[in-house]
Amino acid sequence: MPQTGPLPGAWARSALPLLESRLATGPLALVASYDDLDVVTCEVDPALVADVDTPADLAGLNDQS
């Protein structure tokens, strides 16, 4: 994925305390947590993911199918 594209991810439950702490105290950028987590990077076909931030974004995807 390009650095400007969507950030697909799967998070282990063990990451929850760290992520909750980041939400409460910052920094909010997920990338700021990577040094404290066991991160694996995978290549993903950009055609298989979409940037969906709102219900309208999701509805737009459904309209395209």
Could you tell me the mean pLDDT of each successive run of 10 residues in the chain, 65 residues long?
Answer: 65 92 88 87 81 88 73
Domain ranges of the chain: 13-64
Q: What is the pLDDT of residue 4?
A: 62
Query: What does the H/E/C string look like for 6-52?
Result: CCCCCCCHHHHHHHHHHHHHCCCCHHHHHHHCCCCCCCCCHHHCCCC
Q: What is the pLDDT of residue 6?
A: 61
Q: What is the pLDDT of residue 26?
A: 86
Q: What is the pLDDT of residue 53?
A: 83
Query: The whole model's pTM is what?
Result: 0.54
